Every structure is written in C-alpha cells, then in structure tokens.
Structure 1
C-alpha cells in the first residue's frame, strides 16, 4: 500500500491510499481533497496514520519500527495550533480600495464589511453574517447588521458616498466631467404585497405583475458610478430623469454637462427642460415614429454606404443625425424576417394565444399582417438616429458619445449579476435604500479596480479566491505567523497594487 496525491484541473489535490492488485492500482481509502497547503499536510498525515494502522494490524511492521515514526519536523508541527483557513486575501485587497476611495470617512466598520462582503460573497444579510464569521472571524449579530443599515439610511451614507465618488472621479479619472450617461432599471420581488414603494409597473425583467422598485444610475464615460436613486415601481422612467439631473447639476455645478440616454428616458418635456437649464443632450431617436415627411427625407437621403451619416435640422438648435451600418442592416433584416415568420406562424395557428407581435395587427375579430410596419422596417434597415442640441459637435463625436451608453447598462448588469442587487430581501424603504447604498459603494470599488487592472471583476475574484491565509500559532511563545497560500504571479501583482506585503 502507498499514498497518492492527485492534483485536479481546479488546482485542488486529492489524497488517497492505494494498493496494487493484479498489476492495477485500487483505491483503498479516499482521505479527502486539499485546497490549501495546510489541508494537504493534514490529509497526508491522516493517510500515513491510516497506513500505519493497517500495517500494524497485518503484522507487517513492528510498533517500534523507526521507519514509520514521525520526523522531528512532524513532531514540531504537532506542538503548533493551526487556526481555520481564512478568506482574508480578497478582503484585504478590496479593503485597500475602500480606503483609497475615501469611504473610511463614514467611520463604520460594519458598513465596510457589508460592502466588501457584497463584492466577495453577495448574499442575504443572514448568509453574509455567517460568511463573515466563518471565513473572516468577524462576529456580528443580525441585530448589529440591521442597526447599521438603519444608520446608513438615517445618516445619509449614500449622499456622503456620492460626494466622495465625485471628488475621487474628478481627481483620479475624469478631471472635467462634461458627459454623463443615465439609465433606469427595475428590481422585482418574487412574492410581496404592493406598498408605497414596491408597486407593479413596466418591468425590465419581464415581471409586469410583480411588485418592483425603479432604480436610476448615472455614470461617467468610464462607467464609474456617481449617482443612484430609488423610485416607486410604478414611476414612469422618463419622470425619474429630470430630478436626478437637476440634483447632480445643483450639487456639483455641472453647467456644461452633456447628458446621454436612450430614447425612453428623454421625453419632449425632459428635452425642453434640459434646454431651459442650458444643458446639452444626446438621445437615441425612434426613427419609426418620425413625422411622415421627415421619415421620407431620412430613408431617401441617407446613403446606404457603411459609416455614412446625414444631419437634419429639427428646430432651431436641435438636430437629428442618421447613420448607416452594413452590419446593422444585416441584423435588422434577419430580425425582421424572424418576426415575419413568427407572425405567419400565428396566423396559421389561430388557436394559439398570441402575445404582442411586431408585424401583426387586429382586423375585426382576428389578426392580419401589418404590411405597413413591415415596409417601414425594410426602409429603416441599417439606420440609427440620434437627436441632440450639441450642434457644435461633429456627427462622429455625437455618435461616439452615444455609443458609450453601454457603460451604464454594463454597470446595471454588474449590479444585478456580480453584486446580486436582486433579490432584495427587505421590505421597509429604509432597508431597501440602505441595501442599494451598499451596492452603490461596492459598484464604485469594483469599477475602479476594473479600470485600474483592465480585468473583469469576475476574473479578479477568481484569482483572489485561490489565495487563502494560513494562521499558525506557537502556544509556547504566543507567536502567530500568517502566510498566504498558493500565491501566483498574477495574484502577487494584485497584492502589490493594493500595497499588501505577502513576504
């Protein structure tokens, strides 16, 4: 019999006792899987002890056979205390950036740990409490955590954080914030009775009958968050825009601001309000809704050449820019043909309950193809429109600025996926607001780290998760030694970035 250590693709090591039978190895006992060097040492010791017991029972070896006694090193290890392996490397890494962004001004250790846990282990507050205790040996009661959230709401943590991220952004990322991207998302509740805040409304998650809240977010050209607000779930997203922009302008004196948003955000009233306040905007145009004469001008006068742009005057000081993309044309045509095929299938199967289909219209008691919409779709293939009052910008500048709108959309995706802003396990407004304040702080940290490293947060956490902290104590002297296990060149570079000494 012998001991085998088998390393898997994930980097973990299985420890087994094997014996050779008829020329083939047979597993006698599987001791376990080691994820750290300390666990590997412990499993190998258990395997050696098991092997010795088997040999002694079989009379293969004497109790006094010195070949199987412990080495001096092993006897020394037995005198030491091995504390539970900790998840501190990732925690210390993001702690550095929590401090670097100035969030320690809040002077709230519990809030800090909730923010860092949201990055490293996004879960309910009860699960977060368990994780902090088990992995970091930080003991908080649920009462302490909820008390912290109440304090975060009452003391205006979010407003303080917004002030801090704005100062940080202007000092380290964008000295002159002249362009902001603005968007809205919804966070729904699986099962909850509607109240003043949680109301059914237009859902971006496809849950129109579920109570939800509306969340707005403004980010810089690099996707760094500056402003977050919460509205009731039935609030029309276009009505959330103006209060937030006015607040930002008033707080930071952004008088030369260009606001970029999609068509749903900027109603005619919102556009006029921006102009009254001498602010510039770039918004996606709904070309299919243009007046007939202007629609005809657009589809007739825009060259079907890749990258072509045409500028149309809408009113004094306001323009419409239309661009053509061959790639977009292929996609538009493909999407249109799929929609037509779906519409024809519904017409051929009238017993099937149909939802809303783009190219179907009601005709009497039945449905028919909407040939007018089909033709309009054909004429608009490859075309994209932008409305702006920033007439001093070139067509390319306006299109380039609008094309960065994905930054705010990505920030929302990060909030929903990496930070798991949803599900929201809170019903009271103060706790909902506090929860999203934690998400906002975490989003600012991870976005800055992504900008700094040019790596996604998922990739960074994967690297950091592999590194554990091993803590060994000598009870005779009281000396405690802490070491990081399995430090790769990539993780070492991250620790250097966060000024963490790893020996």
Structure 2
C-alpha cells in the first residue's frame, strides 16, 4: 500500500491510498481533496495513519507478555492526568498577534484593558458593541456588561484622542527616519442607520450615496505609506473644504513640523484655502480645476501636444506653478465614462424623462440644453468640446520640486483612500449605531487606533515576506489555541500556545523572535 497524489484539472490535489497487484493499481480509499500545500501535507499524514491502522487490522501484533497493554494503559493514564490539569482553552490567536502590535506601536502607554479589547475586537471581530460583548465572553471569558461598555464610551470621549494621535505620529516619524515630509489629507462621510438628525449628525452630500441618512464628516491626515497621523470630526452638512486647515494647523503646531508638503484633492481647495496656506507659509500640491482656468490658459493647455506621460508647466505667478500632464490610460477612462453618461441621457431622452429640472451642472447633465420653452435636448457640440480634455490632469503647487515628484506625490493620495477603505470594510467604522456625540467620538478614536495597528501589522508582514494579507493572517489566527494548565502541586498556571500544522505559514508570529524579543 502506498499514498498517491493526483493533480486535478481544477488545480486541486486528490490524495488516495492505492496498492499494486500484478502490475495493476487498485484504489483502496480517497483520503481527501486539498487546495494548498498545507492541506496536502495534512492529508498525507492522514493517509499514513490509514495505512498503519489497516496493516494492524490485517496483521495484528501479538502481545505474549502483556507489555504492550501495560504501556497503553500507562499512556492513557498520563493523558488523563495532563487533560485533568487543563484549566482553560482559549481561541486567542488574533489577540496574541494584536497585543504585540498594540504594544510595539506604543499604545500600551494607554493603560486601559477595556480600550485594548475594544481596539482588538474592531480588527478581529468588527461588530456592534452588543455583539462585541458576546465575542469577549465566548472567546476570552471576559464577563463585560454591555451597559458598562456604554458607560465606558461616555467617559472615554476625547480622553485618549490626543494621546492616540501623538503615539501614532511618533511611531510613524520613527519609521520614516524622523521626517514626515509629505502629509495627505482627505475626507469621507460616515452614515447612521436612523432618520433622526441632531447638531452633529446631519444629512448632506454623502460619498456613499446615503443622502437620506444623517452622517458625519471624517477628515484624515496620513503620511506616505498610508499611516494615520490625525483625524477630525465635523457636522454631516459642513462643506468639506472648511475641514482641512484647522486639522493641519493644529498638527503643525503640536509637532513643530517644518519643511513639509500638504497634498489634497481639488475638491478641498478653495481660493481662500490656497491663499491661507500661502499666508501660513505651507507648501502644497493640489489637484487643479483646469477647465475653470481663464480662456487664455485653457487655450494654451489645449494647444499642448498630448504625449503619454509628458508634463507641461505654466507659470501662474506668485510662486505658483500649474502642471498639466497627459496619459493614454486617463484619456480612455475619460472617454468611457463620458460615453456611458451620454448613453444614459439618450435612454432618458427616448423615454421622455428629461425635463427642465434635469438641466444642471451635476455630472453629465451639463450636456443638456433647452430648445424652445419646453424641449430638453442633448448638446452634441458641448460633448465634442469636452472630449478635447480627455487624458489631461492638472496640479497646482507652490513648491520648486521637479514635475515628476509633483505627479508622484499627488497620486499617493490613494494612501488616504485606501485608509478609508480599510476603516470601512475591515474595521467597519460605519454604519454607526451610537447617537450621542461622546460615544461617536469614542468609537472613531477606537477605530483610528485599530487602523494604525492594521497598518503596522501589514508593514511587519511585508518586511518578513509572509506573503499573506492582514485579513488572511487574522482569519487563520482565529483557530490558534492557547491551553492553560494548572500545576496541582504548586498551584501555578502554565500557558501553551498551540499553532497546528495548518498554521505553519503564520507560526513564526507566535514567537518572540518575530517581534524582536528574546
């Protein structure tokens, strides 16, 4: 008898036990189907045990003097003795990993066990506070009352916000060699599952299409690499362009920053914002609204040769530079989106659903015109004029860095966008079910610390060439067990974390060496 691996067309591997008799192969048993190497190894072990058990049944070992039976009995007693000393079994693999990250970033300076547990739960089991209480009870024997959590959030409020931001900034500066250099700012909206508004939760323009739900605006400042530095919360109906300067000014004052560049999207930059940035002596790179430039500048931009990857510079005076670049990829995207929008307008036109109220500046409705007093038509000439701008993107800056560096810095704004995606999809910062300002602010503070821990774990996994995402590592770690033994003679307890063979890819995360500890 032997074990045979069969590679299937689907990419999976079937592990079987077979035997050869007179040149013919006979399958005796299918052990299982594996989809990765760790599963193959496990099935191979099961196959060897299957063969050993079958061999024992076919050719039993004779025990003439009873020594084998005595050894088995001794073995059984020893196992029972060990098992009887088990005091607890914990599925705490996620907690062990996140504890290390939490401490190494420096958040252990916040000496608060409940805060630590709430941060961990946002990463390993993001859910409502009620579900979090059940999670802590079921997995860690933490008997935390829900009302206690709510009272805790009321007290937490802004208690740890400044401390959490300072720890995150100091750690980020250390990673970046002591100099932050570039800061990226953007905002998003966080909605609530309610129809009720108050002074903070207000309906406004929702980036998630939840225009009927009350929301708040969350502003986030991150460094290169997407590491969170600071955040701010504003009323849901506040103009997002008014949120940026206060958080940057406070950030600069608190950490005495010099020689840095603010990078932001065009939607955040009004003429007043730009003027104030310059008045304060800040360097900036922002997305420029090139279609809103003067006629002479627009004519100059459209006359420039469209060569993929090439940048052109226009001196705006006062130290400002307008950089305009063209890429084929952006041109294809602009054309595709416009054609898609126009097709939607054509469908509405055929159905007679375009009315006078449809004519506005929103999206592709800008291509609509009135013909007479009642008829709405699609302006084909305006569509043609718009196509002349395909592939063009402008950047306004008061720096003197090379054009290529301006392009690279601006397009690193995706770091903020990704930070928001992590906060929303992994940490599940929204929807929020809290209704008081204190609890909302406490919830956002917890999520901010969780985001920093997520990014730090991601950085360490990449540096160690683990080859797995944070989500996959934490998902696998959920089945890592720690056994707590009580020694009957001394009364002391011993804990043993037990990564199994299926945890081989993350086993090193449960060693002190991985975290630089001996």
The TM-score with structure 1 as length reference comes to 0.81
Give how far 1:176 is off: 0.9
1:405-428 CA-to-partner distances (Å, cap 9, x unmatched) read 000110011100110000212110
- Distance change >3 Å, CA 341–CA 470, structure 1 → 2: same
Deviation of the 1:345 alpha carbon: 1.6
Deviation at 1:380, TM superposition (A): 0.9
Cross-structure match for 1:326:
328
CA distance in 2, matches of 1:493, 1:336: 51
Give the superposition deviation at 1:366: 3.6
Structure 1 position 425 matched with structure 2 position 429: no
Q: What's 1:101 paired with?
A: 105
One of 480, 492, 495 as aligned partner of 2:507:
492
Distance change in 2, residues 1:340/1:272 (3 Å): same
Change (3 A) 1:174 1:370: farther
Question: 1:337 Cα deviation (Å)?
Answer: 1.9
Specify which of 442, 446, 459 is matched with residue 472 of structure 2.
459
Unaligned runs of 5+ in 1: 1-8, 10-23, 26-34, 38-65
Paired residues for 1:6-85 under 5 Å: 72-79=74-81, 80-81=83-84, 82=86, 85=89
Distance in 2 (alpha carbons) for counterparts of 1:456 and 1:268: 41
CA shift at 1:286, angstroms?
2.0
Q: Does 1:146 align with 2:150?
A: yes
Counterparts of 1:481 and 1:101, CA distance in 2: 25
Q: Displacement of 1:130 after TM fit?
A: 1.1
Q: TM-score, normalised by structure 2?
A: 0.79
CA distance in 1, matches of 2:138, 2:219: 35
- Are residue 123 (structure 1) and residue 127 (structure 2) matched? yes
CA RMSD of aligned residues (A): 3.1
- Deviation sequence 1:459-478 (CA, Å, 0-9, x none): 32133224222345566875
1:298 to 293, 297, 301: 301
330-339 vs 206-215, which moves further? 330-339
State how far apart, in whole Å, the 2-side matches of 1:259 and 1:113 are.
Answer: 34
1:78 Cα deviation (Å)? 4.2
Name the CA distance, whole Å, in 2 between partners of 1:171 and 1:147: 35
Deviation at 1:483, TM superposition (A): 3.3
**How far does the alpha carbon of each residue in 1:362-417 deviate from its partner, in whole angstroms, 9 at most, with x for none?**
41434211335412321111111111111x11110100100100001100111001
In structure 1, distance between residues paired with 2:199 and 2:157: 17
Q: Distance in 1 between the 2:180 and 2:114 partners?
A: 32
Distance 1:475 1:449, change over 3 A: same
- Change over 3 Å in CA distance of 1:499–1:75 after alignment to 2: farther
Aligned to 2:3: none
Equivalent residue for 1:236?
Answer: 239
User: Is it true that 1:370 corresponds to 2:383 in the alignment?
Assistant: no
> 1:264 maps to what in 2?
267
8 A contact 1:89–1:468 mirrored in 2: yes
CA deviation after TM superposition for structure 1 residue 452, in Å = 2.1
- How far, CA to CA, are the matches of 2:143 and 2:252 in structure 1? 42
Alignment counterpart, residue 393 of structure 2, candidates 384, 392, 396: 384
The change in CA–CA distance for 1:357 and 1:147 in structure 2 (over 3 A counts) is closer
Between the aligned partners of 2:144 and 2:193, the Cα distance in structure 1 is 28
Q: Which residue of 2 aligns with 1:436?
A: 444
Q: Matches of 2:180 and 2:340 in 1, distance apart? A: 42
Instruction: Quote the residue 2:317 is aligned against.
Output: 315
Which has the larger displacement, 244-253 or 491-500?
A: 491-500
The DSSP-based 3-state class of the residue aligned with 1:180 is strand
Residue 361 (1) aligns with residue 376 (2): no
CA contact (8 A) 2:181 2:259 kept: yes
**2:333 paired with 1:337:** no
Asked if 1:212 is matched to 2:225, the reply is: no
The 8 Å contact of residues 195 and 212 in structure 2, kept in 1 or not, is answered as no
Q: Deviations over 1:431-458 (max 9, x none)?
A: 1000000001111111111122225321
CA offsets 1:235-288 (integer angstroms, 9 cap, x no match): 110000111111111111123221001001111111110000000111111222
CA contact under 8 A between 2:120 and 2:450: conserved in structure 1? yes
Is the 8 Å Cα contact of residues 429 and 447 (structure 2) preserved in structure 1? yes
Rounded Cα–Cα distance in structure 2 between residues aligned with 1:396 and 1:458: 34
CA deviation profile, 1:178-228 (whole Å, cap 9, x unmatched): 210000000011213100000001111101121100000000011100101
Unaligned runs of 5+ in 2: 1-9, 11-27, 30-38, 43-67, 463-467
Corresponding residue number in structure 1 for 2:167: 164
* Count of residue pairs brought into register by the alignment: 444
| Distance verdict in 2 for CA 1:376–1:137, change over 3 Å | farther
* Per-residue deviation, 1:480: 4.6
The CA distance in 2 between the partners of 1:276 and 1:481, in whole Å, is 60
